[in-house]
Structure 1
Amino acid sequence: MDTVTSLGELERAVMNVLWAADRDMTAREVQDQLADRDLATTTVLTVLGRLERKQLVHRIRDGRAHHYRPVASREDHVAELMSDALDDASDRGAALARFLGSMSEEERSRLRDLLD
């Protein structure tokens, strides 16, 4: 399995916009969703380009414009991060035990249901 690339703060913000969208988005639309950050279009395009190189977004040409969409869902991305973190642990069992210890009873119950 490939190691999932961690995201910088701005990359995470862009991915959150794309994950929340119900359609492909242009860089300008992403920029509009991040208006509180006062980002230049070139900055958004740079971040989208980095995310494309990291294989986290797919770029689709539509006439003169490009549209972007996530390659995988947020949940898929988080699951890969969790798997990579476990792969890095010298004692997987201990890491899992600590993780389970940090979960609420409701989350542990949900996990039991999923395992059954």
Structure 2
Amino acid sequence: MREFGKLEAAVMDCVWALGRPVSVREVLTELQKSRDIAYTTVMTVMDTLHGKGWLRRRKEGRAYSYEAVASREAYTARLMRDALATSSNQAAAFVHFLSELTPAEVDALRQALKIVPPA
């Protein structure tokens, strides 16, 4: 899996932040707060993300409403998993990753492991 491009990431950030089905117009309004962008550009990116399986859409009148198929956390986890898979020594890569965690990240990991049932 490849990372999102800059504009794809900006669109997904808006969709995730809004946390509900959204129209192209709503995403456009959010994006225009920080950049000059055209409606058709946002529509094309959202259609592309739909085609890649990251957004689902439903016809509402003449337009579509879009929502994320997966959470931001699920996307991040897939990126991490794919990065780990590129190593010829996954155990060593994982150990290096863990050794670079901040104390706050270590605490968050410990808390997360408390809620995960044993395999």
TM-score (norm 2): 0.87
Name 1:92's counterpart in structure 2.
90
Question: How many pairs align?
Answer: 113
> Alpha-carbon deviations, 1:53-77, whole Å to 9, x = none?
1100111101111111110110111
What 5-or-longer segments of structure 2 have no aligned partner? 115-119
Tell me how far 1:106 sits from its aligned partner: 2.4
> Alpha-carbon deviations, 1:17-66, whole Å to 9, x = none?
00001321111110000012111111001101111111001111011111
Within the candidate set 102, 109, 112, 2:110 is matched to 112
TM-score (norm 1): 0.90
Name 1:79's counterpart in structure 2.
77
Structure 1 window deviating more from structure 2 (106-115 vs 34-43): it is: 106-115
CA contact (8 A) 1:59 1:66 kept: yes
| Divergent runs of 4+, >4 A | none
Tell me how far 1:102 sits from its aligned partner: 1.6
C-alpha RMSD over aligned residues: 1.3
Name 1:17's counterpart in structure 2.
14
Asked if 1:6 is matched to 2:3, the reply is: yes
What 5-or-longer segments of structure 1 have no aligned partner? none
